[in-house]
Amino acid sequence: MNTKAQPVRRSAAAAAAVALSLGLAACGLGDDEDTLVVCTSIPFHPFEFREGQLDEDEESGEEDRGEVSDIVGFDADMMALLADRTDQDVDWLDVRFESIASSQALNANRCDIAAAALSITEERQAAMGMSDPYFRVDQSLVAPTDSSVNSLEDLDGLQVGVQSGSTGEAYAESVADEYGFTPVSFDNMGQVQQALTAGTVDASFADIVAWSSMIERGGLDLEVKESFETNEYYAFAVQRDNTDLLNEVNAMLAEAFESGEYAEIYERWIGEPYEGGAIDPDADADIDIDDEEDSDE
């Protein structure tokens, strides 16, 4: 198992606004057809975070932080491609991840699309219009480098931090009784990282790419101790009846795979060449979240 974090590079493309106008019905803030309102939940490296800020610099209050700018990352670059295709500007809205995963943010017309490293699950597909998949990921167990925690068997009696509404939370809850640990949920990954580095929790479950990126970018004294093949795939999400926008998203993805733009974005943020073609459109996560009230990061 390769637990070494991959290098992350800054993208200038996603920080720039893209030009206006096409008649896709914008249902988000301001009701402006020239603007694509994107819900996300920051920080979640390397997919969406504020340029020039590490996780420990992010605010960690309980309230949604609202409109944000200077968002960069893998998902930000993909949204720039979409906005270029639809001839719109992009406005970002930072919300709790579980409001994205449960479809609340979309169904309340807070945004047109969710770009938040959102894993495909049956529950989410029933509640939202989910795009073709664009990224495969597994879960990971992370703990301080000098910790005695090296596997699930070492978690007995410990506290394990997870992001609320995420598949990491779902995975933790699915094995907590078997291995005798207590999952502790936080609003975002910045809070999970703060709790783990401060010793408030002993370990964490989250997507391996996210933890590897945070460790590398922040120079954190943390380590991926074990990975778990949950076979998850990320997708973008829209309101279930917004088929026009969903078709545009899928067309953007197909074009990005074909043109090589996806491969450029992948290498920029993951730090290694993309070696595959288009990702399996029939993918579904090998993780059961049926018992969750809210469906991740």
Q: Which of 231, 258, 278 is the last residue of a domain?
A: 231
Match 């049956």 to its residue by tokens.
Answer: 122
Residue 69 is predicted with a pLDDT of 75
Look up residue 66 and give its two tokens.
Answer: 């609202």
Q: What residues contact residue 125 under an 8 Å CB cut-off, 6+ apart?
A: none
The parent domain of residue 19 ranges over 13-135+234-270
pLDDT tens-digit readout, 117-131: 999 999 999 999 999
Residue 32 is predicted with a pLDDT of 73
Q: Is residue 171 part of a domain?
A: yes
109 lies in the same domain as 200: no
How much is the average pLDDT of 157-165? 96
25 lies in the same domain as 124: yes
Q: What residues contact residue 242 under an 8 Å CB cut-off, 6+ apart?
A: 25, 27, 112, 129
192 lies in the same domain as 256: no
Q: Is residue 290 part of a domain?
A: no
52: CATH: 3.40.190.10
123 lies in the same domain as 238: yes
pLDDT tens-digit readout, 230-267: 999 999 999 999 999 999 999 999 999 999 999 999 99
225 lies in the same domain as 239: no
Q: Are 118 and 297 in contact (CB under 8 A)?
A: yes
238 lies in the same domain as 210: no
Look up residue 126 and give its two tokens.
Answer: 């029933």
131 lies in the same domain as 244: yes
Q: Is residue 188 part of a domain?
A: yes
Match 């975002």 to its residue by tokens.
Answer: 188
Which regions of 24-181 does DSSP assign to beta strands (E)? 35-40, 49-50, 66-68, 71-72, 89-94, 113-119, 129-130, 135-144, 159-163
**Can you give the length of the chain in residues?**
297
33 lies in the same domain as 162: no
The rounded distance, in Å, linking the Cα atoms of 139 and 226 is: 9
223 lies in the same domain as 263: no
Q: What residues contact residue 177 under an 8 Å CB cut-off, 6+ apart?
A: none
Count of domains for the chain: 2
193 lies in the same domain as 176: yes
pTM of the shown model? 0.80
Residue 38 clears pLDDT 80, i.e. is over it:
yes
pLDDT tens-digit readout, 13-28: 333 333 223 334 434 3
